[in-house]
Amino acid sequence: MSTPAQIAANTTNAQSSTGPRSETGKAASSKNGVKQGLFTTNDFVRPEDQPAYDELNAELQSDLSPVGILERNLVDEIRGAMWRLRRCGLVEANLAATLEDDQLDPMETDNPRAERIQRSVDRARTQAHRLLHKCTAELRRLQTERHYAQEFFLDGADISDIGIADWRAITKAHGERTRVELRQKKLDKLDNILAISQRCADEASGFSGSTIQTQSEVKQAA
């Protein structure tokens, strides 16, 4: 357990350690949590790879047509995953070219360094594939919901406040409610028909009874 003197010393040290104060120091400190290699937080792009990276980004923007911050963020994640997969292939190709033995496949070599790199590549590829499929599925869902909402409303309707509502679920629930209401109306109509039929039957029965009584009275009078 810390003594009062140790607690006071720790408090004094904490107050004197305020972190970097210059803009350069702050910029460097902001990258402390960034991982290196295939697991870097940001897309790792060498100057000579910049044209290929820009081309990939342009094609994704054209093919995926993101709208809104969520869709654009998903496209960024998809671009990062695809770029990482490309880098995994390049690392494997470079690894095979730098092996000192005659083994052309890095997975067949006994070189410890090559084995570590290959395991790192495999993990990065698995992670990138998982992220790619997850973000693609989520982007498809968001865009489907957006287009579904546009088709659901009439032209000129204000849909700016619908957010990311699941309109297929909403319309399904609306349809269920409509079917329930129609079914109830049919039952009410059927009840009315049955009531009318019963009333007619009752009236007919009463008319028949009065006719028989009248005929009986006529016979007695005769």
One-letter amino acid at 50 equals: Q
Domain ranges of the chain: 36-161, 166-222
3-state DSSP call for residue 101? coil
pLDDT of residue 114: 80
Segment 113-132 shows an average pLDDT of: 90
Segment 101-119 shows an average pLDDT of: 72
Does the pTM surpass 0.85? The reply is no
Higher pLDDT, 213 or 128: 128
pLDDT of residue 15: 54
Name the average pLDDT for the chain.
75
Segment 53-76 shows an average pLDDT of: 94
By C-alpha distance, which of 135, 127, 138, 171 is closest to 153? Answer: 171
- Greatest mean pLDDT among 23-27, 125-129, 151-155, 165-169: 125-129
With a cut of 80, say whether residue 124 has pLDDT above it. Answer: yes
Which residues, 6+ apart, have CB-to-CB distance to 162 below 8 Å?
Answer: 149
Instruction: State the Cα–Cα distance between residues 83 and 52, nearest whole angstrom.
Output: 10
